[in-house]
Amino acid sequence: MADKNRVKKKASAYEYQEIEYNIKQTNPVVKVFIYIFLIIWAVINIFPIYFMFTFSLKSNDEIFGENIIGLPRNWLWSNYVSAMNTGNMGRYFLNSLIVTIAAIAISIMAALMATYALTRIKWRASKLMNSFLMLGLTIPLQASIVPVYVILSKAHWLNKYSTLIIPYSAFTLSMSILICTGFMVDIPYDLDESARIDGCGLWRTFFSIILPLMKPALSTIGIYAYLQCWNEFMFANVFISDSAHRTLPVGIKALSGAYTTDWGPIGAALVIATFPTLIVYIFLSRKIQESFIAGAVKG
């Protein structure tokens, strides 16, 4: 396995050197156009973040006046104070954090155990069960909101953290199993046989042999589950009615008034909600790209 990973890294390094060589051999005029295009593309992608940040520091007069995309004339940091105190964004941020972390943890462990049972253990209905679990990819959230609400209502699970944690974990499970399968089938079965010869049981083999080799899959599933849970609005809006368990997307919606709305605090709340996603992208983007590539390579 280690030799295989070294071969993949050498191949990636070679491809990178080949691309770099091709860029150096490109015509200077073509190279200038490439860099101009890349700069324009970068500005297009960065502009929404700039607009959201400047939007959060303006008053309604500037937002709807002549200074729409410019820097604020008066930097209203009080919008953030208003969002945290009046808008209760601190509480909503904590609720989103609890729900997202719990859903990610459940999705990872459930997907790893299910994939291990489906791909490493021989039993009669394994393929049928795998097909049944993959049906979850075909079910849209909008079609399930009524039956899920009825189930949660009869189980007296509304207005709790588990109200969102359980559906989020369930609806990310199918994709998580699909991702895990791409990684686990690459692990040689000889490792399982060697573990049994050494006296390892089923659980010891899973936690000591298989789980350490599935680290790239963990980051992939974690990012996927995070994106599905952190910004989810429909379930959170329907299943949660009290402010004590409200998450960030619903809390931001609650900031808009019936007749008048102060848009500066809403912009500040958007910045607060987006900040964790930017942090995740900055620190884990390379890891996620590597994990997706690793999961796509077979043999």
The CA dihedral of 220, 226, 228, 233, to the nearest 10 degrees, is -170
CA distance 186 to 294: 10
One-letter amino acid at 65 equals G
Angle 238-242-245 from CA coordinates, rounded to 5°: 90
Paired tokens of 15: 């491809």
**CB-CB contact of 253 with 237 (8 Å):** yes
**CB-CB contact of 286 with 216 (8 Å):** no
> Radius of gyration (Cα) for the chain, nearest Å?
24
C-alpha distances out from residue 165 to 7, 28, 133, Å: 40, 54, 19
CA distance 181 to 184: 5
| E strand residue ranges, the chain | none
Paired tokens of 60: 């309604």
Kind and range of the H or E element at 96? helix 89-119
Q: What is the pLDDT of residue 7?
A: 40
Angle 44-50-56 from CA coordinates, rounded to 5°: 145
Q: What is the pLDDT of residue 21?
A: 52
| Burial of residue 202 (number of CB atoms within 10 Å: 0-12, 13-18, 19+) | middle
One-letter amino acid at 284 equals L
Paired tokens of 101: 């972390």
CA distance 67 to 62: 5
Per-residue pLDDT of the chain (299 residues; tens, 9 = 90+): 444 444 444 445 555 555 555 555 666 777 788 889 989 999 998 898 888 898 888 888 888 877 778 888 888 888 888 888 888 888 999 999 999 999 999 999 999 999 988 888 888 888 888 888 888 888 888 888 889 999 988 888 888 898 999 999 999 988 889 888 888 888 888 887 888 888 888 888 888 888 888 887 888 888 888 888 998 889 999 998 888 888 998 888 888 765 567 888 888 888 888 888 888 777 776 666 655 555 444 43
CA distance 30 to 24: 11
Q: What is the pLDDT of residue 40?
A: 94
One-letter amino acid at 80 equals Y
Q: What is the pLDDT of residue 99?
A: 94
**CB-CB contact of 183 with 111 (8 Å):** no
Helices (H) and strands (E) in the chain, counts: 15, 0
Q: What is the pLDDT of residue 35?
A: 86
Q: What is the pLDDT of residue 1?
A: 44
Note the residue count of the chain: 299
**CB-CB contact of 171 with 236 (8 Å):** no
Paired tokens of 29: 């005029």
